[in-house]
Structure 1
């Protein structure tokens, strides 16, 4: 029964996100489908780390959460992976490291393509 707790938590997070979108003008959210990029973990933003960043093309997005939220993407204790994902651009900015700001994006259906060396 403890295996169902993470699934239940995920369901509540998704429902909460959907609910907040519908209350804050979800028509303004941009969804980019079938996006590829490099997802990297640079340590906790609470201690001046960069957190999760997705570099895709010329843009770097701040991804909410931490590495453990996406552990299935990071094999063998790596901190950088190539992924394919749909992303939702929230319209918010994230502050990371020493005050760097990035547009916030949420990963949807992310899949690891290969390990990054």
Structure 2
């Protein structure tokens, strides 16, 4: 194979790999992806019936920016390993106030030491 053909094959393969990675990443950011996990299914169903049904899970459960994108991928990989192992995952996740305040700027104040439980 000539050098030019080899370069073309490598370039096409690289484009296919990048397109696949971007597509997979976009799928992982959809709430339906979260609902596909056996452990998360009841939370997903609760979310679908909630007032937050028009907000994707990642909007409240991940940090914005490149660091948040990387952290989300690591968290998803960890959750997948736990799910496949049959172990019970730790579901006691606390969401930082800053995530809620992205949309709820006039939320009622919660005193120090109190918390707000969202059923989903």
Q: TM-score, normalised by structure 2?
A: 0.23
- Name the structure with the higher helix share: 2
Larger radius of gyration between Structure 1 and Structure 2: 2
